[in-house]
Structures are given as structure tokens and as C-alpha cells.
């Protein structure tokens, strides 16, 4: 190409000196005809040094077939060629800093100049360093987050399996304990009934202890089995009207009420909704029983149960005038076998409130407690209601 023609090309493309991106024009013999100012900045190679020279002298890697063959297609009138940053990274290697190379996305397009039929390769180079680094940072962050979620899921699954195994173990142990216990209770009752005259006072005292321990263990097994049944979903049984549930509770609790000389106030008007019988029974019965059991000395227990519907939730309150629970134990008491009192003081198994919590969770509800030591406690349970029609009826009712 003559010097005049080079000048013309330089003039023709001069506007491209103002763009932020590398631009270069090659002749079919790979002579550089144009080299914009951006490429001068990036590479440190001046227009004067490179224009009129073969590009391979400066960038020998462009002789490699993976570049050469695709450039040739462009010179022959073929479609443009794309050199992506992931496969090539740098068509014109140049440093941003001592160790950091400028990452590029490059396109090579065949163009014709006005006055001849020859095809020239128009190379446009975009700096994608920032973008690439940001994407890599994002990918690292995303991969870490995904890994953390997976790790958490694995841990959760392992925990669930361990819990299931433990509950199944508890269930089978409780079940197996029943038979020998029945024998102990049966024979000790026979002893008490038929041979008590043969025992002195100390012997009778020991025998009473055996009978009482048997009763306590029986209760413990009952509670444990209930806990296991709730855990494995066996207790998700019948759906009955709430009113019917309270009637059932009233019948079942009457003996204990009489024994404890307590007062139980159940809701007079009950929302017209249907509830899960066994799970809600576990919740309410355990709270009432506890309220009657843990009463203050010489003060007859009073337990009040109230319920209302608010924003598609059944709000249930059970409060008592009992001994109360210190704040530090408000979480601990819902764990299995957690008891705040010795058996000699108040009899219990330490499973009741764990059952309450588990049944509430299974019903998709939440449980909270407010209590003052020496005054009493109030358990507050919020349960979602799915049956919309019933809610509407109930709203009119309440």
C-alpha cells in the first residue's frame, strides 16, 4: 500500500481514535493499516511503529492456526469472527498493571474500502477485564452460597434421620417395657390385696412404693408413646368440631378436677371450626393437667381456657394460677424429660410440654409462654386454619 493510501486510511478512520476500545485494520497480508489511540495506550506500541508493519512481528501468536484460519475466512469474504474472552483472553496481550493482563472480547469483520475490491480485517477489541473479574467474584460467591446451602441440607437431613431413629428406638423401647411393667404392677397389686396382712409396716411401705413407682412408670410410657406417635405423624387423625373437642376434654378431666379440688373454665361459645382431634387434645389436655398439678400450696388450682379467631388463626390461651415458671426455664421446659421439680414434690414425667410443642409445630402453629413465679402462667398458641368456609361462618358467630 502506498504512503498516500496509508494516509487516506488513517484519515478515514481517525474518528475511531476517540472511542474507548481497541481498533485495528489489517490488510490481507497482515500489514497493519490502522491502529487507534486506544490500542497505543493499551499496548504501548505507537501508530508510527506498527502501521505498515506485519502484525505477526509484534504478536507472533496470531500466526497460530486458531487465529490464522479464522482471519483468512474473513479476508475471503466470510462471516465475521468472534474471539471470546474465555477461549482467548487476550488477542493483543497488554498489561493493566505488573501482573494483570487486560481481558478482551474481540470481533474481526471483513470490510471493503471505497476505492478497491479488497477485503480488509476490521478488528474491534473490547476491554472486559472489570466485567470478567466481577463475574468471577460473583461465581465464587454463588458457589460458596450453594455449597453452604447443600451442607446445611445435608446436616438437616442427617439430624432428621438421627431424630427419626431415636424416636423409633424410644417407641420400641417404651412398647417393650410395657409387658414386664404390667407383670410388676399385676403381681404387686396381688401382693397388696392378698398378702398385705403377712407384711409388717415396713414391708407394706415398700410394697406401696413399688405400686406407686409402677403407676409413675406406666404414665411415663404413655407419655413417651404419645410423643413418638406425634413425631412420626401417627397422631394426625380425625377432624372434629372444636366444640366437640372441649366436651370430650371436660369429660376426661372431671376425675382429676375432683381430686385436685380445682376449677376449670372452658370457653362457653366456641368458634365453629373443625380441628385435629388428637393433636389439639394433646395440647389442651397437657396444659390443663399441668395447670391443675402445679398449683400453689393451699391454693386450689384454677385453669381457664379461652379461644378466638383472628386473621385466619385460632388463638388459644390456657392460663392458671399456679406456681409459675421462672423466665430462664421458658425454653427448656419444652424439651423431653426436662423437669423443674423433683418427683417427691410434684409427680410428672417431663414429656407433657414436649408433646404440646411438637403437636403445635405439626399443626403449623406457634407457642409462647408468659409466666410470673408465684402468680401463674399463660400459654398462648396460635394455629393456622385452612378451612375458609368455616372461618367465615365462625366470624359471624363470634
Partner 1 sequence: MQLSELQLDTLTELINIGVGRAAGVLNQMTQFPVKLQVPAITLLRPQQLAKESGLNDDDPFASVQLNFKGLFSGNAALVFPTNSAVKLVSILTGESPASDIDEITVGTLNEVGNIVLNGIMGSISNVLEQGLKYSLPSYSEQALIELYDIDHLKPESIILIGKTQFSVEEIHIEGEILLIFELGSFDALINAIDNILAANA
Q: Minimum distance from CB of 136 to partner 1 (Å)? A: 8
4 binds partner 1 (CB under 8 A): no
83 binds partner 1 (CB under 8 A): yes
Q: Are strands 22-26 and 32-35 parallel, antiparallel or unpaired?
A: antiparallel
Nearer to partner 1, 139 or 164 (CB): 139
User: In whole angstroms, what is the distance from residue 335 CA to residue 30 CA?
Assistant: 80
- Asked if 359 and 382 count as a contact pair (C-beta separation under 8 A), the reply is no
149 binds partner 1 (CB under 8 A): no
Nearest 5°: CA angle at 211, between 344 and 341? 15
C-alpha cell at 8: 487516506
Stretch that binds partner 1, among 102-110, 195-203, 303-311, 338-346 (CB under 8 A): 102-110
Q: Minimum distance from CB of 72 to partner 1 (Å)? A: 11
Nearer to partner 1, 137 or 183 (CB): 137
131 binds partner 1 (CB under 8 A): yes
End-to-end CA distance of the chain: 97
The residue within the footprint of partner 1, chosen from 61, 142, 327, 341 (CB under 8 A), is 142
* CA torsion through residues 277, 280, 286, 292, sign: negative
Residue entry with cell 417427691: 344
The residue within the footprint of partner 1, chosen from 65, 180, 233, 374 (CB under 8 A), is 65
With H, G, I as helix, E, B as strand and everything else as coil, classify residue 375.
coil
Nearer to partner 1, 81 or 283 (CB): 81
The residue within the footprint of partner 1, chosen from 64, 114, 115, 259 (CB under 8 A), is 64
173 binds partner 1 (CB under 8 A): no
Nearer to partner 1, 81 or 284 (CB): 81
User: In whole angstroms, what is the distance from residue 246 CA to residue 241 CA?
Assistant: 9
Nearer to partner 1, 88 or 317 (CB): 88
Nearer to partner 1, 148 or 335 (CB): 148
CA 129 to chain centre: 36
With H, G, I as helix, E, B as strand and everything else as coil, classify residue 325.
coil
141 binds partner 1 (CB under 8 A): no
Nearer to partner 1, 132 or 218 (CB): 132
Residues 43-62 contacting partner 1, CB under 8 A: none
118 binds partner 1 (CB under 8 A): no
Q: Minimum distance from CB of 112 to partner 1 (Å)? A: 10
User: In whole angstroms, what is the distance from residue 249 CA to residue 229 CA?
Assistant: 20
86 binds partner 1 (CB under 8 A): yes
Number of residues that bind partner 1 (CB under 8 A): 30
With H, G, I as helix, E, B as strand and everything else as coil, classify residue 64.
coil
C-alpha cell at 168: 423409633
- Asked if 156 and 162 count as a contact pair (C-beta separation under 8 A), the reply is no
Q: Which region holds residue 307: left if phi is over 0, alpha if psi is between -120 and 50, else beta?
A: beta
Identify which of 355, 369, 365, 358 has the alpha carbon closest to the alpha carbon of residue 385: 365
User: In whole angstroms, what is the distance from residue 309 CA to residue 1 CA?
Assistant: 91
135 binds partner 1 (CB under 8 A): yes
CA atoms lying within 13 Å on the CB side of residue 316: 26
Neighbours of 320 (CB within 10 A): 28
109 binds partner 1 (CB under 8 A): yes
79 binds partner 1 (CB under 8 A): yes
Nearer to partner 1, 82 or 373 (CB): 82
Nearer to partner 1, 100 or 142 (CB): 142
80 binds partner 1 (CB under 8 A): yes
66 binds partner 1 (CB under 8 A): yes
The residue within the footprint of partner 1, chosen from 81, 94, 273, 385 (CB under 8 A), is 81
Question: What residue ranges bind partner 1 (CB under 8 A)?
Answer: 64-66, 69-70, 73, 77-88, 105, 107, 109, 128, 131-132, 135-136, 138-139, 142, 146
Amino acid at each position: 500500500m502506498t504512503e498516500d493510501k496509508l494516509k487516506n486510511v488513517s484519515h478515514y478512520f481517525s474518528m475511531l481514535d476517540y472511542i474507548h476500545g481497541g481498533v485495528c485494520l489489517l490488510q490481507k497480508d497482515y500489514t497493519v493499516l490502522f491502529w487507534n489511540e486506544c490500542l497505543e495506550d493499551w499496548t504501548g506500541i505507537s501508530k508510527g511503529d506498527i502501521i505498515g508493519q506485519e502484525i505477526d512481528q509484534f504478536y507472533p501468536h496470531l500466526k497460530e492456526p486458531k487465529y490464522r484460519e479464522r482471519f483468512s475466512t474473513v479476508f475471503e469474504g466470510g462471516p465475521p469472527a468472534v474471539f471470546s474472552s474465555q477461549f482467548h483472553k487476550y488477542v493483543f496481550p497488554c498489561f493493566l498493571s505488573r501482573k494483570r493482563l487486560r481481558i478482551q472480547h474481540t470481533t474481526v469483520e471483513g470490510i471493503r474500502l471505497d476505492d478497491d475490491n479488497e477485503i480488509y480485517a476490521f478488528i474491534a477489541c473490547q476491554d472486559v477485564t472489570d466485567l470478567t473479574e466481577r463475574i468471577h467474584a460473583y461465581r465464587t460467591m454463588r458457589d460458596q452460597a450453594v455449597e453452604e446451602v447443600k451442607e446445611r441440607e445435608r446436616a438437616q437431613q442427617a439430624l432428621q434421620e438421627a431424630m427419626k431413629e431415636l424416636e423409633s428406638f424410644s417407641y420400641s423401647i417404651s412398647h417393650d417395657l410395657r409387658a414386664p411393667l404390667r407383670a410388676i404392677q399385676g403381681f404387686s397389686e396381688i401382693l397388696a390385696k392378698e398378702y398385705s396382712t403377712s407384711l409388717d409396716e415396713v414391708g407394706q411401705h415398700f410394697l406401696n412404693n413399688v405400686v406407686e413407682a409402677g403407676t409413675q412408670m406406666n404414665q411415663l410410657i404413655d407419655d413417651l408413646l404419645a410423643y413418638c406417635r406425634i413425631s412420626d405423624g401417627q397422631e394426625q387423625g380425625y377432624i372434629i368440631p372444636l366444640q366437640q373437642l372441649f366436651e370430650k376434654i371436660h369429660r376426661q378431666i372431671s376425675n382429676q378436677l375432683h381430686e385436685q379440688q380445682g376449677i376449670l373454665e372452658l370457653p362457653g361459645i366456641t368458634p365453629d371450626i373443625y380441628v385435629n382431634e388428637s393433636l389439639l387434645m394433646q395440647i389442651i389436655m397437657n396444659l390443663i393437667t399441668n395447670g391443675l398439678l402445679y398449683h400453689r400450696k393451699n391454693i386450689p388450682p384454677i385453669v381457664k381456657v379461652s379461644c378466638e379467631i383472628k386473621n385466619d388463626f385460632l388463638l388459644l390461651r390456657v392460663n392458671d394460677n399456679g406456681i409459675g415458671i421462672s423466665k430462664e426455664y421458658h425454653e427448656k421446659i419444652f424439651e423431653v424429660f426436662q423437669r423443674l421439680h423433683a418427683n417427691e414434690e410434684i409427680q410428672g414425667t417431663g414429656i407433657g410440654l414436649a408433646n404440646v410443642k411438637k403437636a403445635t409445630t405439626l399443626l403449623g402453629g406457634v407457642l409462647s409462654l408468659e409466666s410470673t413465679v408465684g402468680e401463674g402462667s399463660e400459654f398462648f398458641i396460635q394455629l393456622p386454619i385452612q378451612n375458609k368456609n368455616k372461618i367465615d361462618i365462625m366470624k359471624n358467630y363470634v
